[in-house]
Amino acid sequence: MEFNEYYSIKATKDFDKLVKKRLSRDLKKALDEKIKLLSRQLNYPSLNTKKLNVSQSFLKARGINEVWEFRINMGFRCIFYVNENEKQIILVFVGNHEDIRKFAK
């Protein structure tokens, strides 16, 4: 999916709190760089983006169309939602592999 030219990127308040709580200064810098890449191209190679399989009820309850993740570094990932109606990419979660697995259930 190539939608970045037309979609804005925003972060939830919970996402901002997680970033402040869980990420070191270096990881915050890496996240900022990855978000810049995401704004240019969803499938930029170093993002290693992948679509997550979630239930239709999960999507409907949140008013979104898809759930994706991208790599910040080898240990940390970022989950984002796609809302096609609002033309938005919404950053919702950041964590290590274990955190991501728990979030995606």
How many structural domains is the chain composed of?
1
Q: How many residues does the structure list for the chain? A: 105
User: Once rounded to an integer, what is the mean pLDDT over residues 2-25?
Assistant: 87
pLDDT digits (tens, 9 = 90+) for 55-98: 999 999 999 999 999 999 999 999 999 998 888 999 999 999 89
Q: Is residue 38 part of a domain?
A: yes
Q: Is residue 92 part of a domain?
A: yes
Q: Is residue 29 part of a domain?
A: yes
Q: How far apart are CA 57 and CA 75, in angstroms?
A: 29
Q: How far apart are CA 84 and CA 91, in angstroms?
A: 14
pLDDT confidence of 5, banded at 50, 70, 90? Answer: low
Q: Is residue 2 part of a domain?
A: no
Handedness of CA 23, 105, 37, 48 (dihedral sign): positive
Q: Supply the range of the domain harboring residue 84.
A: 8-104
Cβ-contact 11, 90 below 8 angstroms: yes
Domain holding 14: CATH number?
3.30.2310.20
Q: Is residue 40 part of a domain?
A: yes
DSSP 3-state assignment of 23? coil
